[in-house]
A and B are shown apart, each in its own frame.
Chain A
Amino acid sequence: MTTRSAPAAARRRFSPASLVSWLLLTPCLVIFALFIVWPLGKSVSLSLHGSDLFGRPDAFVGLQHYRDMLGSAEFRHILWVTFAFVLLTVIPGVLGGLFIVLLLEQHIKGIRIFRTAFALPFAFSVASASVIFATIYNPAIGLANGLLGRFGVDRIGWLTDPDWALISVAITTVWMSIGYNVLVLSAGIGAIPAEINEAATLDGAGGWRASRYITVPMLGPQLFFLVVISTIQSLQGFGQIKILTPEGGPEQSTKTLVYSIYHTAFANNASDFGAASAQAIVLLVILLACTAIQFGVLERRVHYK
Chain B
Amino acid sequence: MRQLTVGRVITYAVLILAALAVVFPVYYVIAGSIMSPGQISAYPPDLFPHGIFTGNYEGASSSGTPIGRQYLNSILQTSIITTSQLITSVLAAYAFVFMRMWGRTVLFGLFLATLMVPWESIVLPNYLTITGWELGGERLTASYAGTMLALVLPFLANAFGVFLLRQSFLQFPTELRDAATIDGCGHWRFLRQILIPLNKPALMAVGLYVFLSAWNQFFWPLLIGDSADRRTLQIGISQLNDAEAADPGLILAGVTLSILPTLAIVIFGQRFIVRGLTAGAIR
Interface residue ranges, A against B (CB under 8 Å):
9, 12-13, 17-18, 20-22, 24-25, 27-28, 30-32, 34-40, 42-43, 46, 55-56, 99-100, 103-104, 106-108, 114-136, 138, 140-141, 143, 146-147, 149-150, 175, 178-180, 183-184, 187-188, 191, 207, 221-222, 225-226, 229, 232, 235-236, 238-239, 242-243, 246, 258, 261-262, 265-266, 273, 276-277, 280-281, 283-284, 287-288, 291
Chain A residues, CB < 8 A from B248: 135, 138, 141
User: Can you sample 14 A-B contacts with CB below 8 Å?
Assistant: A24-B95, A32-B157, A35-B126, A42-B125, A120-B263, A125-B262, A127-B237, A136-B28, A184-B277, A187-B282, A236-B120, A238-B120, A242-B222, A280-B123
Q: Is B8 an interface residue (CB 8 A)?
A: yes
Give the contacts of B221-237 with A (CB-CB under 8 A): 222-223, 234-235, 237
> A21, B95: Cβ atoms under 8 Å?
yes
How distant is A272 from chain B, measured CB to nearest CB, in Å?
10
Chain A residues, CB < 8 A from B187: 20
> A43, B124: Cβ atoms under 8 Å?
yes
How distant is B83 from chain A, measured CB to nearest CB, in Å?
12
Q: Is B216 an interface residue (CB 8 A)?
A: yes
> A246, B266: Cβ atoms under 8 Å?
no
Q: Tally B residues with Cβ within 8 Å of A.
A: 93
How distant is A97 from chain B, measured CB to nearest CB, in Å?
10
Chain B residues, CB < 8 A from A43: 121-122, 124-125
> A121, B102: Cβ atoms under 8 Å?
no
Chain A residues, CB < 8 A from B251: 131, 135
> B154, A31: Cβ atoms under 8 Å?
yes
Known contacts A127-B218, A141-B43, A39 near B22 by CB under 8 Å: no
Q: Is B44 an interface residue (CB 8 A)?
A: yes
Question: Pick the contact of A114 from B15, B126, B129, B153 — CB < 8 Å?
Answer: B15
Q: Which residue of B lies closest to A284 (CB)?
A: B121
> B120, A258: Cβ atoms under 8 Å?
yes
Chain B residues, CB < 8 A from A18: 99-102
Question: Pick the contact of B116 from A27, A266, A291 — CB < 8 Å?
Answer: A291
> A32, B28: Cβ atoms under 8 Å?
no
> A130, B101: Cβ atoms under 8 Å?
no
* Stretch binding the partner chain, chosen from B60-68, B135-143, B267-275: B267-275
Known contacts A17-B99, A28-B159, A35-B126, A122 near B223 by CB under 8 Å: no
> A119, B88: Cβ atoms under 8 Å?
no
> B241, A243: Cβ atoms under 8 Å?
yes
> B92, A25: Cβ atoms under 8 Å?
yes
Residues of A contacting B: mostly: helix
Chain A residues, CB < 8 A from B99: 17-18, 20-21, 24
Interface residue ranges, B against A (CB under 8 Å):
2, 7-8, 11-12, 14-15, 18-19, 22-23, 25-26, 28-29, 32, 40-41, 43-45, 87-89, 91-92, 94-95, 99-102, 104, 107, 111, 114, 116-129, 153-154, 156-157, 159, 162, 187, 212, 215-216, 218-219, 222-223, 234-235, 237-238, 240-242, 245, 248, 251-252, 254-255, 258-259, 262-263, 265-267, 270, 273-274, 277-278, 280-283
Chain B residues, CB < 8 A from A262: 219
Chain A residues, CB < 8 A from B43: 141, 146, 149
Q: Which residue of A lies closest to B257 (CB)?
A: A128
> B22, A117: Cβ atoms under 8 Å?
yes
Known contacts A117-B19, A135-B248, A188 near B124 by CB under 8 Å: no
Chain B residues, CB < 8 A from A134: 241
Q: Which 6 A-B pairs have the closest CB atoms?
A: A146-B45, A42-B125, A239-B218, A39-B125, A21-B99, A127-B234
> B274, A183: Cβ atoms under 8 Å?
yes
How distant is A247 from chain B, measured CB to nearest CB, in Å?
11
> B157, A31: Cβ atoms under 8 Å?
yes
A31 to B91, CA, bound (A): 14
Residue with the highest number of chain B CB atoms closer than 10 Å, among A21, A22, A46: A21
> B218, A125: Cβ atoms under 8 Å?
yes
Extra A-B contacts (13), CB below 8 Å, given A106-B8, A132-B25: A25-B95, A27-B87, A28-B162, A32-B157, A43-B124, A117-B22, A127-B237, A131-B240, A135-B32, A184-B281, A187-B281, A226-B281, A238-B219
Chain A residues, CB < 8 A from B116: 287-288, 291
How distant is A202 from chain B, measured CB to nearest CB, in Å?
17
How distant is B170 from chain A, measured CB to nearest CB, in Å?
16
A129 to B237, CA, bound (A): 10
Question: Pick the contact of B124 from A24, A243, A277 — CB < 8 Å?
Answer: A277
> A35, B154: Cβ atoms under 8 Å?
yes
Chain A residues, CB < 8 A from B89: 28
Known contacts A125-B262, A127-B218, A135-B32, A25 near B107 by CB under 8 Å: yes
Known contacts A24-B99, A114-B15, A284-B121, A125 near B215 by CB under 8 Å: yes
Question: Pick the contact of A183 from B2, B117, B263, B277 — CB < 8 Å?
Answer: B277
Chain A residues, CB < 8 A from B245: 138
Chain A residues, CB < 8 A from B25: 121, 124, 129, 132-133, 136, 175
